[in-house]
Amino acid sequence: MWYDVNLSLLFTELPLLERADAARAAGFTAVEYWWPFDTAHPGDREVDAFVRSVSDAGVRLVSLNFFAGDMASGERGLVSWIGRERELADSVAIAVGIGEQLGCRTFNALYGNRIDGLDPTAQDEHALSTLDQAAAAAARIGARLVLEPLSGIEHYPLKTAADALAVCDKLGRDNVALLFDLYHLGTNGDDLDAVISHHAARIGHVQVADVPGRHEPGTGALDIPGYLAKLAEAGYDGYVGLEYVPSGRTEDSFGWLGGRR
């Protein structure tokens, strides 16, 4: 397995632009981020500074989220949010540009919450349109989108692998896949063994954190090493994103990996 560090959750004791260097010093050669800017359309100088922070650290950018709105207030994506198409399109263009420079070929398109006053069916139809456009933009650099089921957000409609795969089926794009996040699916009670057995070929990216607590593997009840072994046996050979909240210092949370980076 190849591992990458999610620098939106790890090394947060450091400024964002210093975290890639810290990941490299800890022995990792790949990283991922949520949307690393405060707005959907940051200025060129801010984007260039982010790109330099990754390239100068000598690490690979494996996965990047599109702008997902105000995460602190509970927003979780704009894909299905009617009226915010411009923000999503701006962030898609910027993310694809970053991906072209840094070799990133996986983009997480958070689906978005159900919005009071908007028809859920209309939101789902809108999502198919925005996903189609984003997938076309990603395809221009040979990249894919991943759809992520989430836990803890009542109004977020994708809660199981089946929910996300149903959207993939309706969309019909071969560069849109499942983000298999063991923490969110485990928290929601999804059957992780069944997902691996039946849908391993449709997994575009994997992320891990233990349940409960969302800390590093070994702090909760999930058999994360066991699930990763089953993924490998099923043919998954991509990256595994360490997307957890360290229970202590970030540097002290990697013991479960042994010497693997």
Q: Is 24 strand, coil or helix?
A: helix
**Active-site positions?**
148, 243
CA–CA separation, 83 and 161 (whole Å): 27
Long-range contacts of 158-162 (CB under 8 A, 24+ apart): 158/111, 159/188, 159/190, 160/185, 160/188, 160/190, 161/185, 161/190, 161/195, 161/199
H/E stretch holding 3 reads: strand 2-6
CB distance 177 to 202 below 8 Å = yes
* DSSP-assigned beta bridge partners for residue 242: 5, 208
